[in-house]
Structures are given as C-alpha cells and as structure tokens.
Amino acid sequence: MTGPNPLKFLLAFTPTPLSALSGIALFVLIGLAVFAPWISPYPYDVQNLSIANQAPSALHWFGTDDFGRDVLSRVIFGARTSLSVSLISISLSLFGGVIIGAFCGYLGGWVDRLGMSVVDLTWFFPEILLALLIVAILGPGSESTIIAIAIAYLAQFTRLTRTQIITLKRQTFVEASLSMGAGSMHIMMRRLLPNAIAPVIVVAMLSTGNAILLEATLGFFGMGAQPPVPSWGGMMSTGSSQLFNAPWVIVWPGVFVALSVIFINLFGDGILRALDVKARMRTQ
C-alpha cells in the first residue's frame, strides 16, 4: 500500500500545464515578497544622486530612479507591499462576506433584508470609486488601502455565499440534521459552510488579481503606501514623470503588476476546472 503522492495531489488542482506554471510563478513572486530583505541587491531607500536615472546595467539590472535608488530592489520590496495589501484585504473581505452571507442566507426574513440592504450600499459604486472615497475619508496609507479594498469587494462574497447557503439549506441532509435535533449554528458551520465555501474561495483567488490592480491604482494616485515604502503603483506614479527620460522606472513595476494578475487568473482558472467535475468528465 503506497502513501499519498503530493505531486499527483497538486496536479489535480492544476489540470493544465499553463495553470501549473502559473502556480509556480505565483509561489516565486510570494517568495520574493517574503524574502525581500535577503534577495534584493540593494536597500530600497538608499539614495545616490550621482547615478540617478541610470539605464539598466550589470550593477543595476532594472536601472535606477531619479533619486539613484535601485529599481530592482524597489520592485522586490514593492511586491511585499502590493501582494500583502491585496491578500490581507481580500482575506478580510472573504471572511466578512462569508459570515454575513451565511447568516443572511440561512436565517432569511428581516435579517436577510437588513444585512443585504447594508451590503448592497457598496454594490452600487464601482470598486475604484468606492475605494477612492474610503481612502479619502481615512487618509492615505497601507491600512486605509486594506480597509478600502476589503469593503469594495465585500458585496460579491456576501452575495455568493448567501446564494450557496440558500441553495444548500433546501437539501435533504439539512432536513435530516434538523430531525435529529441539530441546532442552527451546528447546521450552518458543520453542514452548510463546508459545502458552500469552495467556489467562494476560488472567486476570492481570482479577485486577488483585481485587488492588486486596485491597490496599484490607489498607489498611482498617491493614496496607497506612502514613501519611502515602495509599492508597484507608487513606483509607476513617480516614474510617470520620467517616462521619456527613464522609462524603466515605470515599465518594470507595471510588468510585475500585469504578470501577477495574469498568473493569478490562469492559476484560478485551473482550479475552477479542477473543481468542475462535469467538465473534467467530458475531457477524460
């Protein structure tokens, strides 16, 4: 009797080579963010005006910015800021949306109407407009950006969870649990949520790509992480004035934003295919 094969387990969630490669690339990006202090060739905040706007070279692979700071080091540290802000904000939004959606969907009645009415207030505004409004009220910074993105994506997780719970609570296994004397919290936490959470988590993964774009947009407008802390959006904002003199300052963070979103979408699409049993049966 052989033990479980970790490689086969991972491949089950990445049914295509492209999604598998995207997953590996995502782990590399996360590794860059986590180990940024040890990987980056220079400190991200050290200025040297004598080499300002220097083109890419053997010493500075991505060139330098208008303060003589190494762009590669700032891109690596910017990954830590942009990815952590996006992941934390989506995690908070997911947690809040699942809790609110589960209670609204299971209890129904006035709880459902009241909860969804409050959540739908955020549904009426585009994410970028709502995030800009919240950051303008709270003030610029990473903490404000996390709160803004979390609120901006709260409605979609709440609605998706609510729909899943409403569908599942009509199933016979819920009636069987009720007949055996199970309480509402037991049914919700042990029976409904485990069956409803998978598609919500996949949507959260796909939304992380949008959150990276939103964080970069807020940073570009100067409302994200504040200097000297680098973020991809903030780097593109400061590099826009150097577009014709030193285009590498804005190009490299933009490339990493685009690659992050592409990798997340491809990897998420692979997980969606892996969870779609009917699609997998048709391809076999």
What domains sit in the chain, N to C, each tagged with a CATH number? 32-283 (1.10.3720.10)
Residue 192 pLDDT:
78
Taking alpha carbons only, the member of 129, 274, 265 closest to residue 203 is: 265
The residue ranking higher by pLDDT, 229 or 188, is: 229
The residue ranking higher by pLDDT, 120 or 83, is: 83
Rounded average pLDDT over 26-51: 90
Residue 281 pLDDT:
35
User: What is this structure's pTM?
Assistant: 0.85
Distance CA 146, CA 129 (A): 15
Among residues of the chain, what percentage have pLDDT more than 70?
86
Residue 252 pLDDT:
94
Taking alpha carbons only, the member of 282, 283, 275, 257 closest to residue 79 is: 257
Rounded average pLDDT over 68-86: 92
The one-letter code for the residue type at 39 is I
Phi/psi class of residue 95: alpha, beta or left (left: φ > 0; alpha: ψ in -120 to 50)?
alpha
Are 152 and 135 in contact by the 8 Å Cβ rule? The answer is no
- Is the pLDDT confidence value at 193 over 50? yes
Rounded average pLDDT over 127-151: 90
Residue 145 pLDDT:
92
Distance CA 32, CA 39 (A): 7
The residue ranking higher by pLDDT, 249 or 108, is: 249
Residue 277 pLDDT:
39
